[in-house]
Chain A
Amino acid sequence: MLKMSAMNRKFIQNLAETLCKQVKHFDKRETECLIRLFSGLLGEQAERRAAHGLDRVRFRHILHNTFGMTDDMMMDNGTSPIWMRTRIIIMPVFRAFDKDNDTYISVREWVEGLSVFLRGTLDEKIKFCFDVYNLHGDGYISREEMLQMLKDSLIRQPTEEDPDEGIKDIVEIALKKMDYDHDGKVSYSDFEKTVKDENLLLEAFGNCLPDAKSILAFEQHAFQEQHGH
């Protein structure tokens, strides 16, 4: 066991050496910390899956607990004010991490994803968010995708003839604001232009980045506490 952990350490150091050159924003020590964290998380996972990397359940758990991002918006029956209930599109975020689409997040994907998550520049974040919102992976955010992402973002008016009228309206508003080339869908350059113009619209279709407080907490936890090892 001890021997294995020593080997492991050597391996991690080498891996960190390579990764920190390829991934922006982290130095070697930080990369090492992240790899350690990753292997720690893997360890908790069922043996047979560990080989591939983090699975969705595990990842979802991390987003919930570590970054305070939840998607259980409709689970509390209106006890808390509606806009307090954050909706995060978990699966799309997972996909944005999982670049090779093998339904597992490898250690490289983990470090790369976190580099945007924690320290991404505006451009990187725009790219990340667009990837998240681009549900169908076709390079555009369509009306239907928006509708899907925003469907629970407004209280339904039971009195209205069409309860979704409001949502549809908001989708139209968003589309009108973003669709610079008037092709009825939002391309990457549309999205980039919109966000550069108004940063608030970075997470226009749902929360997919952690807030400043969670980032700070995560970095403290990941980089400083493990320093003692």
Chain B
Amino acid sequence: MGETLSKAIQWSSDGDKLEDSPLNNDILTEILIYTEDFEDRYPKEARIRFREPLQWETTLEAADFTSDIYDTRGEAAVSLESDDKGSPLLQLSPPDITVHSFYHLSNLLQLSKDKKMKEIRACLEVNREPIKKIFGPISPTIHEDKLFNILHQLDEKLLSIAVRPITGEGRLSPAAVNTEVDLLKRFCGTGEKRVLKSVSYTSDYVFSNGCRSPPWRQMDGEICSLIIETCDTEPTLFITCSTSGVFFDERIHGEGGVNYYMRKSELYKDIITLLKNMSPHFAAAANEQDSAIQDVPSAKKIVHVETVDVGETGQTLKSNGHEEKNVPEKVRQQLARNKPGGRKKKLEPSLKWKNLGLTSSYDEAEEKSRRSRESKKILENGTKSPVSELKKKANFSGSSLPGSQSSQKIKSPGGAGDFSESSSEDEEDEEQPERRAEIPTDLPPEYWQIQKLVKYLKGANQTATVIVLCALRDFNLVQETCQLAIRDVGGLEVLINLLDTDDIRCKIGSLKILKEISCNSQIRQTIADLGGLQTMVSILDSPDKELKGLAAETIANVAKFRRARRTVRQHGGIKRLVELLDCVPNGVSMSAEQERDVEVARCGALALWSCSKSTRNKESIRRAGGIPLLARLLKSSQKNMLIPVVGTLQECASEKSYRIAIQTEGMIEDLVKNLSCDNQELQMHCASAIFKCAEDKHTRDLVRQYEGLKPLVMLLNEAENKQLLAATTGAIWKCAISLENVAKFQEYKALEILVGLLKDQPEEVLVNVVGALGECSQISDNLATIRKSGGIQPLVSLLTGTNQALLGNVTKAVGACATDPENMAIIDRLDGVRLLWSLLKNPNPEVQASAAWAICPCIENTKDAGEMVRSFVGGLELIVNLLKSQNKDVLASVCAAIAKIAKDVENLAVITDHGVVPMLANLTNTGDDKLRRYLAEAIACCCKWGSNCASFGEAGAVAPLVHYLRSKDPSVHQATARALFELSKDPNNCITMHENGVVKLLLIMIGSTDEILQEAAASCVANIRRLALANDKAKYG
């Protein structure tokens, strides 16, 4: 954002306005989309408060703030949310608006509707350096701040937009080469008028990226090699096309050797230019065709041609890719200018889609503008006999379409002229470019039939419309060719327009088609682009149940991507969909009407399932009262109803409110019941819902009470279905947090099966399996079980993985296993401790901490632990240095490990040399009880070497330790008393302790029931007392 805003964006001459240029618009649109989605994508970061607020003059009014997170008072509006000082995070006092966080920025834009662009423009015009406002004068680095990282990514995206026109056009792509070769092939022939003899690839194999060169040469940017026979050059030309241009191969003379692939010629920008330079015959012939271009009436032709020195074109170009940035225009211009006479209108160059013969003068102009965005080759042979006939059909005008939404597409004649549209706005459509490369030839017969039907659809009354719709449905709509054909001939516009009519049969017929074809992601996006979702949402109010159901089902298909889900929400779709759920699912003898209600509810659940993938939709579903309705539907006995219902629930269970509701509305019982059904998808969703909910203790108990643990263990045998297995193991993991459940799992022999799953499973399964084993090892019997069923070895070998979540769980499990001496022997033999130790170097603090925790029992249970630890080169220094971590859990775990390490005097000496004493002392001011406990233990253990005891006192560790005795955590008391006892061996420390009132506190501790605490406290008091006596003795003799 920062970089691009300062460098790429174009400011008007007086410098305070953003120019209205296409580039700016692209950048602003990107920022807009990004900001609008920000809250959905990064809910946590969106809440971060800006250092300084963004402030600008808005056109919004208080009335625009319809969301319930805002409070409007007269003309002003404020957010209900405010910072810790009580000032609101968004404040509107017209015309000024102040915003403090991305959360409100997102909301604001969503509320702005059609004024969005204006707002973002106004905001950026006055906030020239938003990054500084957001982060203050000193920007954090990428690594330490997630928000900055996110904005940095946006910045890079924007930069790539800014440079797109430069790079996009300058380099050859496989598609471009392909098109050019196809074109050249048309020039080949045997007659006298042929331009070339032959063109062929050296390799027929096409890699998935479109290249034909072998991979090692693709590394250098090569795309493919060609053999071209011209009419006048000898011998045959061997040509290589690479991303930076086209050149001759050394192979011309077959002189292999070291420089085999070194290019022989200079770089040409494309094959045609190269041929023109090499073959006078070709140049002459090509120029003949160029002249034809003059015949095409087009005033706009030159508009897009930038001022490029024509003298250079047609000559060789230098290898620098950037110099070629205007290649398409250059070609055009060059072709336009080279016009020797003798025009024979044998070949008519045109855009490549012209060979479909479906362009009219109208969309030619449109294609011109399109062309400027595309770096595609443009010559094409357009005179084929069937073309003229087709042209006529393409000119059929659909302008009498009622209720036309007048999108760009509707305007253009409903022919194949629509082919290349719609990619530029599609933000999520990755498949588009690939597909486009395939279009030109071989259209299937269905294409023409569909085109004809869509043409009829545009001019038919209800009666004929229904017939045509039914005929359309008879095509195989699952097939992508048919789906795309409907879109490409403008069928989607017509179908969506039909949804706005009054005729129920037309709507039903149209929805039946839309429902099928919306399985295709490109169709989904086009439907959303054309505003289809809004119409479908309003159809949900219809009294006709079949219609409602179909609309909901289609929404379910379309709302598979974020923007669509947001559209559904913003147009009130969630509430309506939730209303559809209202039915009695399990009536004893249901009337036809009730059955229809159930079917509608099923469709509604399907749609909600799709929508529930967005966080805000989950919230909307809850607010619309969806949870009790879902709970009621969960009682259904039909699988096709249960799957979307449980699917929605498990999706929503990521939210706390749902987890509570699932528990309190009694849904656990039904979820458990369905674990034993015979449908794996349903079982998976149930297990997944339990997985997410079982973080809560009561839920875990409920699962056990409803006897859900056994079916879960049974499901472990379905090892083929990995998704199911992942959900099941996840549920087992979370359920195993309760000891009672672990006992059950023991009874069902779950551990043996789990250990068997440690091998050859995908990571998402492994994470859960290992997590479950870790939880089960709370019961020591299970440690032996894991060993006996051969679990130690696979666990230890998982320590070498890279998946952070998995590592976290593996270290935990290995640590738990290490508490058993027999297990430890195996771990030691497998060199597990060394592996754990190297995980201390992992960048993820959670992994560091759990590795350090796991190291503790390892040291404790290994014979010759001291020797082992010393054998890790640099190991001690590594662990001491982790005391510099910012993470509390890492610190606590490292302190615990240091306490164990320090039991070996030699090692204690080494860590003392590495400065462990001042580092521990530095940490003493912490308020975290867990850290306090292990810190005190570490201090107690480290006192036992040399002058460490005194050094702690000098480093100021004593006074804070005394205060630990006031902590509420008894485990802190014991460790602290032991540390104080060790420290009290130094007289100065005793004085400090006494000054800090330690005696009174210790006296309380002596009254404790914990004997170790008693003894440590008493011994410490004794030491202090002895010092006092000695002092008295010295004074008074």
A residues contacting B by CB (< 8 A) are 73, 78, 80-87, 149-150, 152-155, 157, 159, 166-167, 169-170, 173-174, 177, 198, 200-201, 203-207, 211-212
Contacts and interface: CB of A to CB of B under 8 A. Distances in A.
A136 to B, nearest CB: 19
A169 B464 CA distance: 11
6 contacts: A83-B462, A84-B402, A84-B502, A154-B464, A155-B460, A204-B467
B194 to A, nearest CB: 38
Contacts of B468: 170, 173
B471 interface: yes
B467 A82 contact: no
A215 B883 CA distance: 82
Contact of A81 (B402, B452, B463, B504): B402
A168 to B, nearest CB: 11
A153 B471 contact: no
B868 interface: no
Contacts of B466: 200-201, 203-204
Given A81-B403, A83-B402, A170 B464 contact: yes
Nearest to B546: A199
B467 A173 contact: yes
Interface string B504-526: 11101100000000000000000
Nearest to A204: B467
Most buried by B among A78, A200, A203: A200
B459 A166 contact: yes
Contact of A154 (B403, B460, B503): B460
B469 A150 contact: no
B460 A205 contact: no
B396 A153 contact: no
B338 interface: no
A86 B463 CA distance: 8
Contacts of A84: 402, 501-502
Contact of B471 (A81, A173, A205, A207): A173
B201 interface: no
B456 A205 contact: no
Contact of A153 (B395, B464, B502, B505): B464
B469 A82 contact: no
A83 B465 contact: yes
B1026 interface: no
A206 B470 CA distance: 15
B502 A201 contact: no
Contacts of A200: 466, 469-470, 505, 508-509
Complex A-B, nearest 10 residue pairs according to Cβ-Cβ distance, in ascending order: A81-B402, A155-B459, A153-B464, A83-B461, A153-B461, A173-B471, A153-B463, A174-B467, A83-B462, A200-B505
B508 A82 contact: no
A159 B392 contact: yes
B410 to A, nearest CB: 14
A150 B463 contact: yes
B76 to A, nearest CB: 46
B464 A177 contact: no
A169 B400 CA distance: 21
B465 to A, nearest CB: 6
Contacts of B509: 200
Contacts of B400: 78, 81-82, 155
Contacts of B502: 84
Contacts of A80: 402
Contacts of A87: 461, 463
B543 interface: yes
B885 to A, nearest CB: 68
Nearest to A216: B543
| Most chain A beta-carbon neighbours within 10 Å: one of B401, B460, B474, B502 | B460
A83 B506 CA distance: 10
Nearest to B512: A200
Given A85-B461, A200-B470, 9 more contacts: A82-B460, A84-B402, A87-B461, A150-B464, A157-B459, A177-B471, A204-B466, A205-B463, A207-B462
B452 A83 contact: no
B544 interface: yes
A78 B400 CA distance: 9
Given A177-B474, A204-B466, A170 B456 contact: yes
Contact of A204 (B460, B463, B506, B544): B463
B467 A170 contact: yes
Residue among A86, A149, A155, A207 with max Cβ neighbours from chain B (10 Å) = A155
Contact of B452 (A78, A157, A169, A203): A169
A206 B467 CA distance: 11
B313 to A, nearest CB: 42
B461 A177 contact: no
Contacts of B462: 83, 86, 207
A88 to B, nearest CB: 10
Contacts of B395: 159
Interface string B441-454: 00000000000110
Contacts of B465: 83
A84 B452 CA distance: 22
B543 to A, nearest CB: 7
Contacts of A201: 466-467, 470
Interface string B369-413: 000000000000000000000001001100011110000000000
Nearest to A172: B471
A154 B401 CA distance: 12
Contacts of A174: 467
Contacts of B461: 73, 82-83, 85-87, 152-154
Nearest to B474: A177
A22 B403 CA distance: 47
Nearest to A81: B402
B510 to A, nearest CB: 10
A85 B459 CA distance: 12
B58 to A, nearest CB: 40
Contacts of A169: 452, 456
B853 to A, nearest CB: 66
A84 B400 CA distance: 12
A217 B467 CA distance: 29
B459 A154 contact: yes
Nearest to A202: B505
Contacts of B460: 82-83, 153-155, 170
B463 A203 contact: yes
Contacts of A198: 470, 473
A172 to B, nearest CB: 10
A213 B470 CA distance: 24
Residue of A150, A173, A174, A211 with highest tally of chain B CB at under 10 A = A173
Contacts of A204: 463, 466-467
Contacts of B463: 87, 149-150, 153, 203-207
Contact of A82 (B402, B473, B506): B402
Contacts of B506: 83
Nearest to B504: A211
Contacts of A149: 463
A157 B395 CA distance: 11
A152 B462 CA distance: 11
A95 to B, nearest CB: 19
A137 to B, nearest CB: 21
Contacts of B401: 81
Contacts of A83: 402, 460-462, 465, 501, 503, 506
A124 to B, nearest CB: 16
Nearest to A198: B470
A82 to B, nearest CB: 5
Contacts of A82: 400, 402, 459-461
B874 to A, nearest CB: 77
B489 to A, nearest CB: 16
A73 to B, nearest CB: 7
Contacts of B501: 83-84
A147 to B, nearest CB: 12
Interface in B705-751: none
Contacts of A212: 504, 543-544
A180 B487 CA distance: 31
